[in-house]
Amino acid sequence: MWFGITYLTDEDTGDGEQVIVSVWDGTRPFRVGGAARSVADIICALRQAAAGSTAMPRCDGCGDRLDLPDLDAVRPAAA
- What would the pLDDT profile of 43-79 be if each residue is shown by its tens digit? 777 777 766 665 666 777 887 776 666 667 766 666 5
Distance between CA atoms of residues 42 and 20, nearest Å: 10
Expressed as residue numbers, the domain containing 58 is 1-79
**Bridging pattern class, strands 2-8 and 18-24:** antiparallel
How far from the centroid of its chain's Cα atoms is residue 64's Cα? 19
Q: Are 28 and 11 in contact (CB under 8 A)?
A: no
pTM above 0.75, yes or no: no
Average pLDDT over residues 19-23: 83
Please state the domain count of the chain.
Answer: 1
Does the pLDDT of residue 19 top 60, yes or no? yes
Q: In what order do the strands lie in the sheet with 29-35?
A: 2-8, 18-24, 29-35
Q: What pLDDT does residue 69 have?
A: 61
* Residue pair 18/9 in contact by the 8 Å Cβ criterion: no
Percentage, residues of the chain above pLDDT 90: 0
